[in-house]
Amino acid sequence: MTDLKNIKAFAFDVDGVFTDGSVLALDNGDLLRTFNAKDSFSIRTAVVNGFPVAIITGGCSESIISRFNSLSIPSADIYQMSKNKLPDLLHFCKRHNLDISEVLFGGDDVPDAEALKAAGVGICPADACVECKEAADIVSDRCGGKGFVRDIVERTLRSQNKWIFNAEQPWGFSYKDEVNAAQFKTGRYVD
């Protein structure tokens, strides 16, 4: 098994990783996606525990930004319209002063293969394309959108004794406007 103890950050594609790859196309051109709540919980847990997270996707949608901002991923770490994922992965590393060997990358399709090879740990879901399965260090037994992200994030955090949920711990909102938005939306005080 690949060692996950040296991982300090995560980077993921969206479609086929956080989702099962299905999209619903609306008349106005928007694409709707369904996300797994357990995958999302694991991302928020990683962020609260100090792990930077990047989203590197070929997709482009305000809903992608909104979804991942709600998990405390800053917009600067959301790379959309990424045709070749490696340059964006390297930019993320530079932004957070990380060596690429300290980043786990998860992807499922041809544009992800180069980043899977370059990352410290490359992982793909069970239903990934052949190129990704050949490039990855780990081929998960879970499919995209079906707990794939949760599985690898939880395994990584557990290997570092950081898979901890404390109901008293703040969710880790990074910006005052996020706190204000959460308070307005929920009617509850959020720290």
Q: What is the pLDDT of residues 2-25, one digit of tens each?
A: 789 999 999 999 999 999 888 888
Model confidence, pTM: 0.86
For residue 9 the two structure tokens come to 């950050």
Residue 105 clears pLDDT 70, i.e. is over it: yes
Tokens 């993921």 correspond to: 12
Kindly indicate the confidence band of residue 118, based on its pLDDT and cuts at 50, 70 and 90.
Answer: very high
142 C-beta neighbours (distance < 10 Å), count: 17
Name the amino acid, one letter, at 160.
Q
Q: What is the pLDDT of residue 3?
A: 86
DSSP state of 30: -
Q: What is the pLDDT of residue 108?
A: 97
Q: What percent of the chain has pLDDT over 70?
A: 87
Kindly indicate the confidence band of residue 181, based on its pLDDT and cuts at 50, 70 and 90.
Answer: low
Kindly indicate the confidence band of residue 46, based on its pLDDT and cuts at 50, 70 and 90.
Answer: very high
Length of the chain: 191
Q: What is the pLDDT of residue 34?
A: 83
Domain 9-186 belongs to what topology? Rossmann fold (3.40.50)
**Does residue 11 sit in helix, strand or coil?**
strand
